[in-house]
Amino acid sequence: MASTMDALSPEAMLTFYRRLYPFKSVYGWLNHDHMPTRQWTHREFAFTLAGDVYVRYKSYNNADELKADVCKLNPSRFEIGPVYSARPRDKKTVRQLTPLQRELVFDIDMTDYDPIRTCCSEANICKKCWKWISAAVKVLDESVREHYGYEQLLWVYSGRRGIHLWISDPEALDLTDAQRKAVVGWMNVVVASGQNEGMKKVNLRAGTKALPPPLQAALDTLLPYFTSIVLEEQDCFGSEKGYEALLEFIPDVKVADSLRKTWSADPTKPSASKWLDLKAEVKAKDRSQRAPLMHAMEDIILHYTYPRIDAEVSKHRNHLLKAPFCIHPKTGRVCVPVDPRGIDSFDPERVPTIGQLLGELDEGMVVEGEESSPDSDVQRTSLAPYVEMMNKYATSLMDLKRKAKQDPDTLAW
Amino acid sequence: MFKSTERKPFQQQDTAIYQASTSSHLQYPHRLNFYDKPPLFDVTIEEFETCALERLRVLAEIESSAARNRTWEESKTAIRAQAEKHLVLKQNSAKYDDLDGQRRKDHLSHFVLRLAFCRSEDLRRRFVKAESTLFKVRYEDDILTDREAFLNSRNFNTIPVLPDEKKKYESQLYSLYYGKNETERKAAFEREKYFKVKWTRVPDLVEKRRVFLNRGWAYVPSQEQSSIIFGEYENQLEKALELTARLLPRLDEDTRLIPILNNLSQGFIAGSSSEWMGENGEGTCGEEIRAEMIDDMSKRHFPMCMKTLHDRLQRDNHLKHFGRLQYGLFLKVLGLSIEEAVAFWRKSFSRITDDKFNKEYRYNIRHSYGLEGKRANYPAKNCLQIMAPGSGEYGCPYKTYNPDNLQSALLSTYSHQGLKAADLPDIMQLVNANSFHTACTRVFEITHSSCGVKKGDGVNGEHVTHPNQYAAHSRELYKATKGAAESEDVAMGP
Ligand SMILES: [Zn+2]
């Protein structure tokens, strides 16, 4: 059946929602409880329907209601918003609908790396450029845990060329917009400055001082990535345009001129060799002149490897973000959860597509007398390990909530 | 919370509500106040309103400083000047001042405005922002010893970082430590005390990476302590306002307070026009306006909407209810006293008898001055209200007139002030773009070119947002440029 229909047709989407989409797992993850709480009932869902119709302020009493509505409207995707002061679906009748809670979210997208990546452009992505995402996941995951003390992190592949992070610690859910903005300010090193100007570095250090501790720690994590991605695979400085961008970071005009002279004679000289040239120039300087150049080298490493975060997504509680397990409308891939510890071996091209999953459903025959249920359906497809991961995580959130209820002091710090 | 009975002696048993102080004999030992406790003394309704109005002027200055993008130093200067006029609050060293009296007024006015501004999310947000700014200005201006005494009187729930822990994170803490040169910095760092707070209490320091973060805790050096204090102040005020909003319905039983509170919040909503809401406002230009001056003034200083009402009143010797209300409040804010207002309307309504006037109109005029009925201090309508749908024949002429009528009305009204037919296309283009404010502003510029106003100058650099703003600035300009010449003429006359 599935093999005969177009992978992204409405029929295929409907089959996916009816038989495979893990509504119960998503419910557990958002609700932190078996019984529906405000975290579920007052939660906004938004649907993208055929013809780019966008429906907001939907909310449900339980997971089954969501499933019924999704199957009825068959959206091409749906998004998750904040927990409001009232049920979003009562928007017209309630006096106020204020966003109260929301997972702290981060969005990293390959587009923001376009000015520096050389392997692909625009919507395309390959294993080489995905490494930047790997580096970003490592740094962000570590920082969120070490600096902010958050532990309930869910990483979700966005289905094409990016990744989302959802943080569900109770303290993170309660953050105000101002506090979210502060986290983003702390995290952001590289910010976009207009469409065609590429990227501009900001806010790295105070004056001529050493890097602040969080960036120093990130630098250690990022150094191997800089060598393998920037210097080797992407060969970011292997063209005139590429090395000119590098030279912009050099504060010492003499050093920059000398390097430019050498490199213009051999513009495609490999980036790794050019980096050695720079190192040699820096070493030749006496101590007082060396410091600013060393700083510049650190700045370059951060500029080319530090996570590029889409700040607007994180700053506001009422920003909507695509739900996990949705199908990416262009690639047909499922937005699956990702284990950050295995991020280096994660291959976006091996993420199951809707066509593949429906094919798998067709092949596995339902045993005579056995009812087909979403649980058993999922088990017969390559979606199973991802749903299993989500279930485990949702269970840990519920455990945490139960413990907090029994012993309220453990969280009250 | 407030009893609006007659003034009673200050209740001594209420001392418990103030911060305890061993050395001070004052009811309010500190100039700074977190306003934890409501004022539990009795106040008169006049005091209730006037002290709130005065605080409002200071808050309006704060908002306008932000709107004008002033630097922090410029803002402080402007805010201090306004506070010096309306909300004096001296340091403890000012022994001969009535410190308790000043602080009592500060305390009371803050709480009255809480009642007025707790009722919508937007008002709450603006109020918190303005009040926090006021607190910051006072905090920074406070003498060090006074400030320390205040800080010691409160528990900010900060956890001191013990020497062992400071040692453990020395490299991280030191790399974020700000100081002049390396030796000084090292010595100062050795002396520095650190506090631990949840990072969410100091988002501004986090955003700028100025604190060391460790598993959700921010390590704040005492030199950055003010961030904790300001954060705490905002936080408490936000919560208190939400609580007040929920409790407010109980206040409805006191019908005298509601109109006052409505009026206060309306003045704040009007933003820049909050300056134009009181009889003693700055819009009055100082000198007394008499009934017989109105006709002349209308020719020189009034915007189209008010000029139209004035002309209609003179032509028909009558104005219907809403027209009277609108024009009457405009004249009140312009500075017409109640006696002169009664005289003006009596003269204008020349076709009716004294008896009818006294019965039907005198009361309404006094009412609009807050002397009858609800005794509310009604503000004059601003442009937004005048332009609102349903204003009908009393709406903004730029919006309601058809293009032909508007052009001939403009010429007949303003040609004696220099408006020419050649100016019309420019104005009509703005009207056609539904930019009625701007059209009115343009007319102001044209008709005040003899005072040196040029295209783009606006009304003191702003668009017209209120007919009283238009008229007041027009009068100021005339006074500044023509006043001298006119008085000379008088002196030289026979
Ligand atoms: Zn690529």
Residue B438 lies in a domain: yes
pLDDT at A34: 95
Count of structural domains within chain B: 3
Q: Which two tokens stand for residue A102?
A: 């929301």
**Lowest-confidence range among A162-176, A352-366, B1-15, B388-402?**
B1-15
B311, B449: one domain: yes
Residue B1 lies in a domain: no
| B285 annotated to bind ligand | no
* Cross-chain residue pair B213–A186, CB shorter than 8 Å: yes
CA distance A48 to A78: 6
Which segments within A50-195 are labelled E, that is strand? 53-58, 77-84, 99-101, 104-109, 153-157, 162-167, 190-192
Q: Hey, where are the domains in chain A?
A: 4-106+311-406, 108-151+187-305
Kindly state the average pLDDT of the residues B434-446: 89
For chain B, the maximum distance between any two Cα atoms, rounded to a whole number of angstroms, is: 91
Kindly state the average pLDDT of the residues B424-428: 91
Instruction: Using CB atoms, pick whichever of A150, A175, A186 lies closest to residue B209.
Output: A186
Residue B91 lies in a domain: yes
Ranked by mean pLDDT, the top range of A150-164, A357-371, B273-287, B453-467 is: A150-164
Q: Any catalytic annotation for residue A90?
A: no
When comparing pLDDT for B447 and B364, which is higher?
B447
Does residue B182 come out as left (phi exceeding 0), alpha (psi in the -120 to 50 range) or beta? alpha
B245, B346: one domain: no
Kindly tell me if the per-residue pLDDT of B271 is higher than 80: no
What DSSP element (H or E) covers A199? Answer: strand A199-201
* Cross-chain residue pair A171–B200, CB shorter than 8 Å: yes
Domain end call among B269, B296, B329? B269
Helix (H, G, I), strand (E, B) or coil at B206: helix
Residues B238-248 have pLDDT tens digits of: 999 988 888 87
CA neighbor of B466 nearest in space, from B329, B263, B315, B318: B329
Q: Domain residues for B425? A: 279-489
CA distance A33 to B407: 69
Kindly state the average pLDDT of the residues A178-184: 95
Nearest CA in chain A to B204: A182
Q: Evaluate whether B305 touches B386 at the Cβ level (below 8 Å).
A: yes
In the CATH scheme, what is the code of domain A108-151+187-305? 3.90.920.10
Nearest CA in chain B to A182: B207
Residue B251 lies in a domain: yes
ipTM of the complex: 0.90
| B51 annotated to bind ligand | no
pLDDT at B272: 37
Q: How far is CA B110 from CA A32, B106, B113, B424, in A?
A: 41, 6, 5, 49
Radius of gyration (C-alpha) of chain B in whole angstroms: 28
Does residue B255 come out as left (phi exceeding 0), alpha (psi in the -120 to 50 range) or beta? alpha
pLDDT at A371: 61
Amino acid at B24: S
- For domain A4-106+311-406, the CATH architecture is Alpha-Beta Complex (3.90)
Q: Calculate ∠ Cα B215-A322-A200, nearest 5°.
A: 65
pLDDT at B110: 95
Mean model confidence pLDDT for chain B: 81
A364 touches chain B (CB under 8 A): no
Concatenated DSSP letters of A295-343: HHHHHHHHHHHS--B-HHHHH-TT--EEPTTPBPTTT-BB--EE-GGGG
Residue B247 lies in a domain: yes
Burial class (CB in 10 A: 0-12, 13-18, 19+), A270: middle
- CB within 8 Å of A49: residues ≥ 6 apart: A55, A73, A74, A75, A76
Burial class (CB in 10 A: 0-12, 13-18, 19+), B66: middle
What are all long-range contacts of B248-254, with beta carbons under 8 Å and residues at least 24 apart? B248/B115, B248/B118, B248/B119, B251/B1, B251/B115, B254/B4
B249 touches chain A (CB under 8 A): no
B448, B307: one domain: yes
What are the chain A neighbours of B172 within 8 Å (beta carbons)? 213
**Lowest-confidence range among A143-147, A190-194, A373-377, B433-437?**
A190-194
CA distance A200 to A218: 19
Residue B494 lies in a domain: no
A69, A79, A103, A107: which one is catalytic? Answer: A107
pLDDT-based confidence at A408, cuts 50/70/90? low
Kindly tell me if the per-residue pLDDT of B444 is higher than 60: yes
- Which residues are bridge partners to A33 per DSSP? none
CA distance A255 to A252: 5
CA distance B386 to B273: 14
Q: Any catalytic annotation for residue A375?
A: no
A224 touches chain B (CB under 8 A): no
| B440 annotated to bind ligand | yes
CA distance B125 to B133: 12
When comparing pLDDT for B492 and B254, which is higher?
B254
B305, B432: one domain: yes
- Which residues are bridge partners to A406 per DSSP? none
Kindly tell me if the per-residue pLDDT of B11 is higher than 70: no
What are all long-range contacts of B404-411, with beta carbons under 8 Å and residues at least 24 apart? B406/B431, B409/B304, B409/B308, B410/B304, B410/B443
Kindly tell me if the per-residue pLDDT of B177 is higher than 50: yes
Domain end call among B269, B294, B327? B269
Q: Any catalytic annotation for residue A44?
A: yes
pLDDT at B17: 40
Q: Which two tokens stand for residue A36?
A: 């529906």
Helix (H, G, I), strand (E, B) or coil at B409: helix
CA A116 to chain B, closest CA, distance in angstroms equals 26
pLDDT-based confidence at A216, cuts 50/70/90? confident
- Domain with residue B15: its CATH number is 1.20.930.80
pLDDT at A128: 92
Mean model confidence pLDDT for chain A: 89
B203 touches chain A (CB under 8 A): yes
CA distance A7 to A355: 5
Kindly tell me if the per-residue pLDDT of A95 is higher than 70: yes
Q: How far is CA A393 from CA A33, A79, A170, A256, A320, in A?
A: 12, 20, 15, 51, 22
When comparing pLDDT for B223 and A76, which is higher?
A76
Instruction: Answer positive or negative: Cα dihedral of B484, B489, B492, B494.
Output: negative
Q: Evaluate whether A106 touches A315 at the Cβ level (below 8 Å).
A: no
Residues A282-320 have pLDDT tens digits of: 999 988 889 889 989 998 999 999 999 998 899 999 999
Q: How far is the CA of A235 from the centre of ligand 1 (A)?
A: 12
Does residue B408 come out as left (phi exceeding 0), alpha (psi in the -120 to 50 range) or beta? alpha
Pairing, β A321-322 against β A104-109: unpaired
Residues A35-69 have pLDDT tens digits of: 999 999 999 999 999 888 999 999 999 999 999 99
Q: Evaluate whether B219 touches B196 at the Cβ level (below 8 Å).
A: yes
Which segments within B69-225 are labelled E, that is strand? 159-160, 194-198, 212-214, 217-221
pLDDT-based confidence at B277, cuts 50/70/90? very low
Kindly tell me if the per-residue pLDDT of A205 is higher than 70: no
pLDDT at B485: 46
pLDDT at B269: 54
* Cross-chain residue pair A213–B208, CB shorter than 8 Å: no
